[in-house]
Chains A and B, each alone.
Chain A
């Protein structure tokens, strides 16, 4: 990658820089603690952002970035700690207007109303009123045109907001934020849904606004963007502040090390490969492509092999895995499961071909919460429960008991509804169902998300055990612990498989590859 020359972004004019460092920071948060039940989302976190700088906030998933954003934008009150704007304390949570004058956030999720026009979105609930007390649409349109041209946003105020592209929508949201008087804007992964050219246009706009005195907090998973656009960077890890430094003084290796933590976790796995070279590959994917999300994905999973599919959020790893099991249909390419080619986009066909599947979000796709463990584990194998569409309860319970024992699910019996189980045990039920039909290919998406440590070890152990029986395993995850036992890890970045890493990698290698950074650059 040619990040080398892009990294050297000219810093803002020195005179400007010197002046801004004298006054109090635009926003400063100190000693922020925020708990959600037993989990601590922020633990004494702090950040200080000076006027006119573009400050990056980076950290892996769960580092506490989103929680900090909601604290800084006044959506949530911290349990402990203080937030100040320009030296004076933050307004009350209920005083939305005061917050809007100080800070605005452009979220990944749109906060515009698609059915209304751009003009109305800009001035929602603060329309111009004529002398007769009715809304003056002419006034609204005129003000919208003025606002958009002031910040040179090239959008017709009369367009329905739903027709805007992601890029235009972001510009409109930025303009709206500025119209409230806010000169501090948080961009939450603004580049996630943009293509390369749009990213460049966004960065040009950010530099423009920076010159006009707007301060940005930039949150991104893509480290090279941090080097391209930001002046300062703050790293969060495990709900704590790790380091704040000028971007130019923090080399990539150190930044990645700050994000991943000590190298202590770099233990090598001593799992001998169970790959069976003679048997038909469990999965063979040929030039798989889908509009916009991923393209040209080709790989094989041999019988008994465990292959990881790593990548940051939005890299396309989840989509590829979902395509393999038929939750999505690809536009191009082929999927072959154990030598058979199931009909694309059909889950039953994929299951019939020999796939077992642990979906991304167990609450949405994994189980039916109010049905019993027995029903849930046998949901996908009705034909093993009886003939002609009739189910035998006895047979179902025997099968379920067997699985409860095999997966050590902690339950008084197979009749308990799954919703009564803990997260780890719920995931075991989902895993049990994936294994119910002795699959030739096991596809796991984020298999240990929201699962306690012991269940996690158990589940991963079960995966290894399954691989020993000759089942091919594909694990799509960004969780390093899930990927450690893989024979090899394919890394996806922005919809492409960019590298393949053999077992025995170091954490920072994989993280760097997932973030699209070349450590040797």
Chain B
């Protein structure tokens, strides 16, 4: 028995070197390629899409895909940060509805629906972001300061915020939004909708922050082993506060972009988004157990889901079946990432 143990240990000590296949003259280790795992899938879907309908790869269609996903992509960005520190935020989807909802409520003139007309139109954007920040502060207070379970806290917040929006809107949709709220959803910068630029730039910033700053790395340390992170001198509570509040503000921004694009705030805005957000994050390699996954992977996850949806629509799949297929795609994608990742997902 001891002999076999010894042999195992010796083998283990030698193994890693030949095992790690490297590309580009050893500069990119295979482990890094894990982040790029979804890129081939995206290429395959692009080819399939092109075969199904030649419209798919045209610029208009691609821009359309990117724009429809941009709002949800921001939720994925927020959720990814929260998941990496081993927390969860279910309330993102109702923050996305409530934040612009409150702004519209205060700004939209009386007579048109449930608007109060208390503030001039220019206040809409700051109010939206402030509501997002406030929701984040409440979440963080309950989760970090009072040590409540994050899943239940944000589940409660999800229901409360949804209810508040229904309450202030009387279950109706706000129209006649001020110019400032429409801007982000309608403006074009350099020939592309502003929301796409915002989405891409924020992801680029997030990739750099998470990969190349001490703050970003502390997220991984906290999610991986919070005691070790504390022992390394990281102020874990402060980092968690920043992550949760930033997440909520991003959700408010996403809501602003969505209501700008639709020129309205429906009382059910964002309803049901959170499931797709979680699915995209997990498909993109973010572990629900914390400390694992990259922002780039998460972006690929949400991009893949929206491309598949687009291909299905172009293929003429009846709209009534899209929901069922969406769920199925998520399950299949999870199964595939389980096989390629090789580890049990928690």
Contacts and interface: CB of A to CB of B under 8 A. Distances in A.
A196 B10 CA distance: 13
A125 B224 CA distance: 14
Interface stretch (B65-73, B98-106, B210-218): B210-218
B1 A125 contact: no
A197 B233 contact: no
Given A113-B291, A134-B212, A125 B221 contact: yes
Given A125-B232, A127-B214, A114 B224 contact: yes
Interface string B197-230: 0000000000010011110011011011101110
A5 interface: no
A195 B6 contact: yes
Given A97-B233, A124-B232, A197-B2, A168 B13 contact: yes
A158 B29 CA distance: 9
Given A124-B221, A135-B212, A159-B16, A197 B232 contact: no
B205 to A, nearest CB: 12
Nearest to A166: B9
Interface string A91-125: 00000110000000000001111111000100011
B231 A165 contact: no
Contacts of B13: 154, 165, 168
A135 B225 contact: no
Given A154-B13, A197-B6, A112 B20 contact: no
Q: Is the interface of B mostly helix, strand, loop or mixed?
A: helix
A81 interface: no
B220 A115 contact: yes
Contacts of A165: 9, 12-13
A111 B227 contact: yes
A125 B292 contact: no
A135 B225 CA distance: 21
B9 A115 contact: no
Given A125-B233, A165-B9, A134 B228 contact: no
B208 A134 contact: yes
A471 B314 CA distance: 74
B223 A124 contact: no
Nearest to B1: A295
A198 B16 contact: no
A111, A120, A133 — which one has the most chain B CB atoms within 10 A of its CB? A111
Contact of A113 (B1, B2, B20, B228): B228
Given A97-B233, A165-B9, A197-B6, A116 B227 contact: no
A163 B20 CA distance: 13
Contacts of A167: 9
Contacts of B214: 125, 127, 129, 135
Interface string A53-87: 00000000000000000000000000000000000
B209 to A, nearest CB: 9
A46 to B, nearest CB: 26
Interface in B1-21: 1-2, 5-6, 9, 12-13, 16-17, 20
Interface residues of B, number: 34
A156 interface: yes
Nearest to A129: B214
A44 interface: no
Nearest to B84: A115
A417 interface: no
B324 interface: no
B220 A116 contact: yes
A213 to B, nearest CB: 25
Contacts of B29: 158
Given A111-B227, A134-B212, A158 B218 contact: no
Nearest to A109: B227
A382 interface: no
Interface string A126-148: 01010001110100000000000
Contacts of B229: 113, 124-125
Contacts of A198: 9
A401 B263 CA distance: 70
B269 to A, nearest CB: 35
Contacts of A111: 225, 227-228, 231
A115 B233 contact: no
A120 B216 CA distance: 12
Given A113-B228, A116-B220, A198-B9, A160 B31 contact: yes
A172 to B, nearest CB: 12
A160 B34 CA distance: 13
Contacts of B12: 165
Nearest to A162: B224
Interface in B114-133: none
B43 to A, nearest CB: 27
A297 B229 CA distance: 41
A114 B17 contact: no
Given A163-B16, A165-B12, A198-B9, A135 B217 contact: yes
B312 interface: no
A110, A125, A129, A137 — which one has the most chain B CB atoms within 10 A of its CB? A125
B9 A197 contact: yes
B46 interface: no
Nearest to B225: A113
B42 interface: no
A253 B221 CA distance: 47
Contacts of B220: 113, 115-116
A163 B291 CA distance: 15
A158 to B, nearest CB: 6
A196 B228 CA distance: 28
A418 to B, nearest CB: 23
Contacts of B287: 115
A96, A97, A120, A197 — which one has the most chain B CB atoms within 10 A of its CB? A197
B221 to A, nearest CB: 5
Contacts of B37: none
A135 B9 contact: no
Interface in B21-44: 29, 31
Nearest to A134: B212
B234 interface: yes
B62 to A, nearest CB: 31
B291 A134 contact: no
A506 B16 CA distance: 50
Given A97-B233, A116-B221, A196 B2 contact: yes
21 contacts: A96-B231, A111-B225, A112-B225, A112-B228, A115-B223, A115-B224, A115-B291, A124-B229, A124-B232, A125-B229, A125-B232, A133-B213, A135-B211, A135-B213, A135-B217, A158-B31, A165-B9, A168-B13, A195-B6, A197-B2, A197-B9
Closest 10 CB pairs of A and B: A113-B224, A134-B212, A115-B291, A197-B6, A115-B224, A195-B5, A124-B232, A125-B232, A113-B225, A111-B228
Given A96-B231, A167-B9, 19 more contacts: A96-B233, A110-B228, A111-B228, A112-B225, A112-B228, A113-B221, A115-B287, A115-B292, A116-B217, A124-B228, A125-B218, A125-B221, A125-B233, A133-B213, A135-B212, A137-B212, A160-B31, A195-B5, A197-B9
